[in-house]
């Protein structure tokens, strides 16, 4: 008999009842060190007092009105994001998937309104992940996500990751945009090198097409800059954001230049919940915290510390781990043994990691994880790896 919860996830037998900072308490009382942060969502940890206050203050006042009216909290968050980035304008959503929908619509509408309605094709890359809607799965294109869900939304061209010649050859007079994650998340923590992001920007400029960045996972301080593309010194035309921006409250957005957003006039798009007072009150508190240069400097320092310790872990367990990769506090451990075994061995040591493709274990801790917690995390991962070695044949 089907479970009352639609069984689309194979869930770990863990049920958390409370959280504080980087710690989660299981129903049986065990305390887990959380290096997953709800897949890069709990950017400021669990039950962060600043976010809890922002949420409860707003909850006592007004939860939801409608985008039919002015929403001061939404205006405040949009102003902060515009001030802190390349963007001139922001649309608020409830998820990364919903941000993907708008990014695709915006890019196509831009060329439609410029009198180039045939420019509809969006170039994407193998291993990418852009959400689970019809547009999101068509954009990613993997058989795992798309099989059985046809007909797929047309207009996506899938290219191998990191093949420059294939990319140049794929741009035609029906191309409207390139869509890429600066650091692939689900695909196994694969960063696009800075010079390649620069190359993508140049390619888009020389062909007059739009660059759409999916920073749903790598944005909002995760890599040590407010947005990951800042490391490459480039800016996109359109950017998708979600996950960390709500700190656990469902919130996302699409940020864009005035030019790229020019087709999105009144009546062309909407969202019932998107940008409601509750979500935006929390989003303002997240951006005020993460956008502080001193906070980001700490993220970078801790990222260096974690990475150094993980390099040591890989050296100590060459039969379990192959390499560390990633950027900032978005790190991956490429494994030599089955990924699920590593994640499960972590659970046994009360440390939470997140599986990704390419046999990579993701570490996406809260951005305010402490030095002591980083040390404890690596100690637990070390014990998990030792347990796996002990269980093996050699």
Ligand X SMILES: *Cc1c(COP(=O)(O)O)cnc(C)c1O
Whichever of 239 and 384 has its CB closer to ligand X, that residue is: 239
Nearest to 23 by CA among 39, 10, 35: 35
Give the C-alpha separation, 11 to 7, whole Å.
9
Handedness of CA 262, 263, 266, 269 (dihedral sign): negative
The verdict on 124 binding ligand X (CB under 6 A) reads no
Among 80, 130, 190, 317, binds ligand X (CB under 6 A): 130
Strand 121-125 to 89-93 pairing: unpaired
The verdict on 42 binding ligand X (CB under 6 A) reads no
Name the token pair of 172.
């035609």
| CB count in 10 Å sphere of residue 183 | 26
| CB count in 10 Å sphere of residue 241 | 30
Give the C-alpha separation, 17 to 27, whole Å.
6
With contacts defined by CB under 6 A, name the span among 48-56, 200-208, 211-219, 263-271 that binds ligand X.
211-219
Give the C-alpha separation, 132 to 143, whole Å.
13
The verdict on 21 binding ligand X (CB under 6 A) reads no
Whichever of 22 and 97 has its CB closer to ligand X, that residue is: 97
- What is the nearest approach in angstroms of ligand X to the Cβ of residue 216? 4
The verdict on 93 binding ligand X (CB under 6 A) reads no
The verdict on 97 binding ligand X (CB under 6 A) reads yes
Among 96, 247, 275, 365, binds ligand X (CB under 6 A): 96
- What is the nearest approach in angstroms of ligand X to the Cβ of residue 190? 11
The verdict on 317 binding ligand X (CB under 6 A) reads no
Whichever of 186 and 237 has its CB closer to ligand X, that residue is: 186
- What is the nearest approach in angstroms of ligand X to the Cβ of residue 40? 7
- What is the nearest approach in angstroms of ligand X to the Cβ of residue 128? 7
Site for ligand X in 98-117 (CB under 6 A): 100
The verdict on 121 binding ligand X (CB under 6 A) reads no
Count of residues in contact with ligand X, rule CB under 6 A:
15
Q: Tell me the residue number closest to ligand X, measured at CB.
A: 96
Among 85, 217, 289, 359, binds ligand X (CB under 6 A): 217
Beta bridge partners of 341: none
Contact 131, 252 (CB under 8 A): no
Give the C-alpha separation, 105 to 86, whole Å.
20
Strand 31-34 to 351-352 pairing: parallel
Starting at the edge strand found earlier in the chain, the sheet holding 89-93 runs: 89-93, 252-256, 238-241, 210-214, 175-180, 121-125, 156-159
Task: Annotate each residue in 134-173 with x if it binds ligand X (CB under 6 A) or - if it does not, as one string.
Answer: ----------------------------------------
Q: Which residue carries 């890069």 as its tokens?
A: 40
Whichever of 95 and 124 has its CB closer to ligand X, that residue is: 95
Task: State the DSSP string of 234-278.
Answer: ---SEEEE-GGGGBTB--EEEEE-TTTTTT--TTS---SSTT-HH
Whichever of 73 and 217 has its CB closer to ligand X, that residue is: 217
With contacts defined by CB under 6 A, name the span among 91-99, 313-321, 336-344, 347-355 that binds ligand X.
91-99
Rounded (5°) CA angle 365-370-371? 110
The verdict on 241 binding ligand X (CB under 6 A) reads no
Among 211, 242, 254, 329, binds ligand X (CB under 6 A): 242
The verdict on 249 binding ligand X (CB under 6 A) reads no
The verdict on 191 binding ligand X (CB under 6 A) reads no
Binding residues (CB under 6 A) for ligand X: these are: 95-97, 100, 129-131, 181, 185-186, 214, 216-217, 242-243
């Amino acid at each position: 008999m089907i479970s009352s919860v639609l069984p689309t996830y194979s869930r770990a037998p863990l049920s958390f009842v409370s959280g504080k900072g980087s710690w989660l308490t299981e129903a049986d009382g065990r305390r887990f060190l959380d290096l997953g942060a709800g897949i890069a969502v709990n950017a400021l940890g669990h039950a962060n007092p600043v976010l809890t206050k922002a949420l409860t203050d707003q909850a006592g006042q007004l939860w939801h009105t409608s985008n039919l009216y002015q929403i001061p909290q939404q205006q405040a968050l949009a102003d902060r994001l515009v001030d802190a980035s390349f963007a001139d304008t922001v649309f608020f959503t409830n998820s990364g998937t919903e941000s993907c929908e708008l990014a695709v619509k915006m890019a196509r509408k831009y060329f439609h309104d410029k009198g180039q309605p045939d420019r509809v094709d969006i170039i994407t890359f193998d291993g990418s992940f852009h959400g689970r809607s019809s547009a999101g799965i068509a954009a990613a294109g993997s058989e795992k996500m798309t099989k059985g869900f046809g007909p797929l939304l047309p207009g996506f061209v899938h290219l191998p990751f990191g093949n420059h010649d294939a990319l140049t050859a794929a741009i035609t007079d029906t191309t409207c945009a390139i869509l890429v994650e600066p650091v692939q998340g689900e695909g196994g923590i694969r960063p696009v090198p800075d010079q390649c992001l620069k190359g993508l920007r140049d390619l888009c400029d020389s062909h007059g097409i739009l660059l759409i960045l999916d920073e749903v996972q790598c944005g909002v301080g995760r890599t040590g800059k407010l947005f990951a593309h800042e490391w490459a010194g480039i800016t996109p035309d359109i950017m998708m954001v979600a996950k960390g921006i709500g700190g656990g409250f469902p919130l996302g957005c699409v940020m864009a230049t005035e030019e790229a957003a020019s087709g999105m006039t009144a009546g062309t798009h909407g969202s019932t919940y998107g940008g409601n007072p509750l979500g935006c009150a929390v989003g303002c508190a997240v951006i005020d915290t993460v956008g502080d240069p001193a906070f980001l400097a700490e993220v970078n320092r801790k990222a260096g510390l974690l990475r150094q310790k993980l390099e040591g872990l890989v050296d100590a367990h060459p039969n379990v781990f192959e390499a560390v990769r990633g950027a900032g506090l978005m790190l991956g451990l490429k494994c030599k043994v089955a990924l699920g075994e590593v994640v499960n061995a972590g659970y046994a040591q009360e440390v939470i990691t997140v599986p990704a493709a390419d046999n990579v274990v993701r570490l996406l801790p809260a951005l305010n994880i402490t030095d002591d917690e980083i040390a404890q995390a690596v100690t637990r991962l070390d014990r998990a790896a030792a347990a796996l070695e002990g269980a093996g044949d050699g």
